[in-house]
Structure 1
Amino acid sequence: MSSDPWGRVDEAGTVYVRTAEGEKVVGSWQAGSPDEALAYFERKYEGLVVEIGLLERRVRTTDLSSKDAMTAIGHIREQIDAHHAVGDLDALRQRLDKLVEVVEARREERRAAKARQSDEARQAKEKLVSEAEELAGSDQWRSAGERLRALVDTWKGLPRLDRKTDDELWHRFSHARSAFSKRRKAHFAALDAQREEARQAKEKLVAEAEALSGSTDWGPTAARYRELMSAWKAAGRAQREAEEDLWSRFRGAQDVFFQARSEAFSERDAEQRENLTRKEELVAEAEKLLPVTDLKAARAAFRSVNERWEAIGHVPRDARPKIEGRMHAVERAIQEAEEAEWRRTNPEARARAEGLTGQLQAAVDKLRGQVDAARAAGNNAKADKLTKELEGRQALLDQALKGLQEFGG
C-alpha cells in the first residue's frame, strides 16, 4: 500500500484521491508498483494544472470569446470531476470558479463596450442624418454635394445597429440625399433653360451690333451700343462656349465701330484745332477795334470779321467758351457804343433831360431864396431844414446836368 497527501493505492491496486467530499476512486493500477501508480496520476494532475494555466493566460491576454472560454472551462471541469488525477482537485475547481468569474466579467465588459459602441454608432448616424437633412435644403450645390458623398463614406465605416433602427436612419439619410439631388437637378435644368434664353437674346444683340458696326452716325450709334451693352449684362450668361463666341463677336463689332469713330474724331480734332488757330487770329483782329472811336467803321469791320468767323466752323469743345467769350466781349462793346450814340442823338430824350434839368434848377433857386429869407428872419431851425432839402435837390440837379452833357449840351 502506498500513499501521499492527495492520494493512495490500496492492496488491490485501486487508486484514490482525497477531496473535500472524501476519497474518490481514481482508477485501478495493476501494471507496476503503487508509487508508479501515484506518479502516473500525479502527472495527470500536473497536466490539468498546465491546461488551466494556459486557459487563464488566454482569457486574460487574448480576445478569446466568452463562449469558447466557457466551453474550455467545462471541458477541464469534466476531467476534474471524473477524478482521473491525484492532486488538489478542489484547488483546481476553485481556480476554474475564479476563471469563470473573470470570463463573466469580461463578457459584461464586452457587452457594455458593445452597447457603448452601438450607442456611439447610433449617435454618429443620427448626426450624419441631421447634417444630411440640413444639406438637403442647401443651394451650395458643389460643396453640399461633396459633403453628402463624404457623409456616405463615413456611414459605411460605422458599425451596423439593430435592423429596425439602422433601416429607419438609413431611410432618412437616403431621403435627404435624394431630395438634394432632385433640387440640384431641377436647379441646373432651370439654369440650362435660362442660359438658352440668354443665348437667344444675345444672338439678337450680336446681330444688331454687327449691323451697326459700319455706321458713321457717331453719336446715336454710340448711344445705341451703350444700350446694347446694358441689355447684354441684363440678359444673363449663356452656356460657356456659346457665351465666349457671342462675346467675341459682340465685342468685335463694337471695336470696328469705335475704331472708325476714333479715326474720324482724330481727323475732326485736327480740323478743329486748325479752326481754333484761325479764330484766334480773327478775335485778335476784332479786339483791335476797341476802344470804339469811329462807330460806323468799327461796326463795318466787326461785321466782316464775324462773317469770316461763322464760315470757319467748330473749334475744340474745351477751347470754345474762352474764344467765343472774347468775341462776344468785342460785340458787346460795340453795342454799348451804339446805345450811347443813340442816347446822345435822340431829340426826345434830350428834350426830356433839358426839361428835368430846368425844373430841378428852378426848385434849387427857390429853396436857396427860402433859406436866405429864414436866416434873415432869424428862424435857424427852418433854415436848417430847408438847407437839407436844398442839398437833396442840388444832388439831383448835378446828376441831371451830367446826363445832359451826354447829349452834347
Structure 2
Amino acid sequence: MSSDPWGRVDETGTVYVRTADGEKVVGSWQAGSPEEALAYFERKYEGLVVEIGLLEKRVKTTDLSAKDALAAVEHLREQVDAHHAVGDLDALRGRLDKLVELVEKRREERKAQRAKQSDEARGAKEALVAEAEELAQSDQWRAAGERLRALVDTWKGLPRLDRKSDDELWHRFSHARSAFSKRRKQHFAQLDAQREEARQTKERLVAEAEALSNSTDWGPTAARYRDLMAEWKAAGRAQREHEDDLWNRFRGAQDVFFAARSSVFAERDAEQAENLKLKEELAEEAEKLLPIRDLKAARAAFRSVNERWEAIGHVPRDARPRVEGRMHAVERAIQEAEEAEWRRTNPEARARAEGLTGQLQAAVDKLRSQVEQARAQGNNAKVDKLEKELEGRQALLDQALKGLQEFGG
C-alpha cells in the first residue's frame, strides 16, 4: 500500500482521496506501481487547480458575464465533487465558493451601474424633451430649428431606457419638433400670403396711377396721387421680383402727370427751385443714414425725412431724377437691409440656394473633366466649345455662391 497526505492506494489497487468527510474512492489502478497511481491522480488535481486559477483571473480581469462565470464554476465543482483527483479538494471547493461570492458581487455592482446609467439617461432625455417643448413655442425660426436638430443628434447618442419610458419621452420630443415645424410653415405661408396680397394691392394702385397720369385736373389728381402713395406705403412689400417693377410703373405714372402739371405752371419755377434746395438738404440728411447700422432707427429717421420731403412739393423737372434718385438710393438701402434681415430668417430660401449651388458645382466639375478629356484627345474644337460652356456655368456658380453668402453661410 502507498500513500501521501491527501490519498493512498490499498493492496487491491483502489485509490482514495482524503476529505473533510472522510476518504472517497478516486478510482482503481491496476497497471503500474501505487506511486504511479498517486502521481497520475495528483496531476489531475493540479489540472483542476490550473483551471480554477484561470477562471478566477477571467472573473477578476475581464467582462465575463455572471451567467457564464457561474456555469463555469458549476462545471468545475462537478469535477471536484466527482473525486477523480488526489489533493486538497476541500480547498478547491472553498475557492469555488469564494468565486461564486465574487461573481454575485460583480453582478450586483453591474446591476447598480446599469441602474445609475439608466437614471442618468432618463434625466438627460427628460431635459432634452423639456428644451424641445420650450423651443416649440419659439419664433426664432433659424436658431430654434438648428438647436432642435442638435438635440436630435444628442438624443441618438444616449442609451435606450425601458421601452415604455423611452417611447413616451420620444413621443413628447417628436411632438415638440412637429409642432415647431408646423408653426414655422404657417409663419412663412402667412408671410407669402401677405406679400401676395401686397402685390395685388399695388397692381391696383399702379393701374389707377397710370389711368390718372394724363389728367389735367391738377388739384384733385395730385391729391389722389398723394392718397395712392399713402396706400402704397401701407400695403407693405410685395415679392422682391415684383416690387421694383411695380414701383417703377407707379412712380412713372406720377412722373407723367406731374411733369405735365409742371409745364403748365411754369411760373412756379422759383418756388420749385426753393423746393429743390430743401429737398437736397433732406437728401443729404437721408444720406447720412448710410451705411445702415441700426435698421429700426434708420427706418424711423428716413420716415421722418420722407414725411418732410412729401410736404415740400415739387422741384424743377430736370432736377427731379437726381434729387429723388438720392432719396431712392437711401430707401433702397433700407429695403435691402430689410431683405437681408428677412433672408437671414428664411431657412427654406437658404436650402434652395444651397441646392442650386450644389447642382452648379457638380456641372462645373463635370465640364472641367470633359475639357481635360478633350484636351488629352487633342480635340481642340471640342475643348473651345466646352470651355465656353464652362465659363458660363462658372459665372452662374460664382453668382450663386455670392447669393449664398448673404445667408451668412
Instruction: Read off the aligned partner of 1:100 and give its amino acid letter.
Output: V
The yes-or-no answer on 1:87 pairing with 2:87 is yes
- Give, in angstroms, the shift of residue 65 of structure 1: 0.9
Give the corresponding residue for 1:63. 63
| In 2: Cα distance, 1:214 partner to 1:161 partner | 77
Could you say which structure has the greater relative contact order, defined with CA pairs below 8 angstroms and 6 or more residues apart? Answer: 2
Runs of 4+ in 1 over 4 A off after TM superposition: 208-230, 247-273
- Give, in angstroms, the shift of residue 142 of structure 1: 2.5
- Give, in angstroms, the shift of residue 206 of structure 1: 3.6
| In 1: Cα distance, 2:74 partner to 2:118 partner | 31
Give the corresponding residue for 1:118. 118
Query: Cα 1:21–1:267, aligned 2, differ >3 Å: closer, same or farther?
Result: farther
Give the corresponding residue for 1:170. 170
Instruction: Read off the aligned partner of 1:167 and give its amino acid letter.
Output: D
Give the corresponding residue for 2:102. 102
- Give, in angstroms, the shift of residue 185 of structure 1: 2.9
> Bigger radius of gyration, 1 or 2?
1
What is the 5 A alignment of 1:70-219?
A: 70-208=70-208
Identical residues among aligned pairs (%): 85
Does the residue aligned with 2:3 lie in a helix, a strand or coil?
strand
- Give, in angstroms, the shift of residue 22 of structure 1: 1.8
Does the residue aligned with 1:46 lie in a helix, a strand or coil?
helix
Deviations 1:55-106 (A, max 9, x none): 1121122111111111111111111111111222222222222221221111
| In 2: Cα distance, 1:209 partner to 1:55 partner | 97
Deviations 1:258-310 (A, max 9, x none): 9999999999879999xxxxxxxxxxxxxxxxxxxxxxxxxxxxxxxxxxxxx
Instruction: Read off the aligned partner of 1:111 and give its amino acid letter.
Output: K
| In 1: Cα distance, 2:266 partner to 2:71 partner | 107
Instruction: Read off the aligned partner of 2:139 and give its amino acid letter.
Output: D
Gaps of 5+ in 2: 274-315, 317-409
Deviations 1:144-171 (A, max 9, x none): 2232233233223222222222222222
| In 2: Cα distance, 1:159 partner to 1:147 partner | 21
Using structure 2 for the length normalisation, give the TM-score: 0.57
Query: Cα 1:217–1:163, aligned 2, differ >3 Å: closer, same or farther?
Result: same
Query: Cα 1:199–1:18, aligned 2, differ >3 Å: closer, same or farther?
Result: same
Using structure 1 for the length normalisation, give the TM-score: 0.57
- Give, in angstroms, the shift of residue 207 of structure 1: 3.8
Give the corresponding residue for 1:334. none
Query: Cα 1:244–1:270, aligned 2, differ >3 Å: closer, same or farther?
Result: closer
Deviations 1:22-77 (A, max 9, x none): 22111111222222222221221221122112211211221111111111111111
Query: Cα 1:14–1:190, aligned 2, differ >3 Å: closer, same or farther?
Result: same
| In 2: Cα distance, 1:41 partner to 1:255 partner | 120
Query: Cα 1:73–1:233, aligned 2, differ >3 Å: closer, same or farther?
Result: farther
Query: Cα 1:118–1:270, aligned 2, differ >3 Å: closer, same or farther?
Result: same
- Give, in angstroms, the shift of residue 218 of structure 1: 9.6
Gaps of 5+ in 1: 274-315, 317-409
Query: Cα 1:209–1:12, aligned 2, differ >3 Å: closer, same or farther?
Result: farther
CA RMSD of aligned residues (A): 3.6
Query: Cα 1:195–1:101, aligned 2, differ >3 Å: closer, same or farther?
Result: same
Give the corresponding residue for 1:298. none
Instruction: Read off the aligned partner of 1:70 and give its amino acid letter.
Output: L
